[in-house]
Amino acid sequence: MIELALHILDIAENSSRANATLIEITFNEDVKKDILSFEIKDNGKGMDEDTIQKAMDPFYTTKKVRRVGLGLPMLEQAAITAGGRFTIESEVGVGTRIYAQFQYSHIDRQPLGDIPGTITALIIGNPDIDILYTHNRNGKSYILDTVEIRQALGDVPLNHREVLKVIKDNIVEGLDEIS
């Protein structure tokens, strides 16, 4: 994966397969501290210690369509290569937390990529999962909470074409405002 948005999509899809009903995605950009980090937390089925170790093996996957599980090992390598760190915490029956930190200015740090498109794609593919997306940039914040959006929409589904356009436009505008 060549951009962080693709890592986010991969991990969030893992959360979906783990029966999560809530996925929290939090980005923190702090140019002064030279740090970019993100955290993804879910309330899915979680993993025991043995499964966490297997998840970090590129030749292990629970997916039936391919025989390798490169997502987490590639993210860990990307973080370390960019002067950062990576952690994974999980508890069976509680959920999982993935954290990746990068040196913001590092020449090898992957670009963010299409975050608005990624969040929108998550909603398209997982309309019944709530997503709390928070993006903090140099002391300013943008928050998208699908629980609030659902309440405002009533019976209109989150993955309705017009709703998705409004959501994506809102993310783009919100990220522009905190730049």
d(CA 75, CA 85): 10
Contact yes or no for 79/86 (Cβ under 8 A): yes
**How confident is the model over 104-122, as a mean pLDDT?**
97
pLDDT, tens digit, 9 for 90 and up, residues 18-48: 999 999 999 999 999 999 999 999 999 999 9
The pTM score is 0.93
| Confidence (pLDDT) at 117 | 97
Given a cut of 80, whether residue 163 has pLDDT beyond it is yes
Residues 110-124 as b/e (b if ≥16 CB within 10 A, e otherwise) read bebbbbbebbbbbbe
| Confidence (pLDDT) at 172 | 98
Q: CA geometry: angle at 84 spanning 82 and 90, to 5°?
A: 130
d(CA 153, CA 18): 27
Mean pLDDT of the chain: 93
Q: By three-state DSSP, how is residue 152 classified?
A: helix
Q: Report CA torsion sign: 37, 14, 48, 52.
A: negative
Q: What is the Cα Rg of the chain in Å?
A: 16
Question: Among residues 114, 99, 125, which one has the least CA distance to residue 40?
Answer: 99
Give strand pairing partners of 103: 35
Question: Among residues 103, 98, 104, which one has the least CA distance to residue 86?
Answer: 98
Q: How many CB atoms lie within 10 A of CB 2?
A: 11
Q: Domain 4-177 sits in which CATH superfamily?
A: Histidine kinase-like ATPase, C-terminal domain (3.30.565.10)
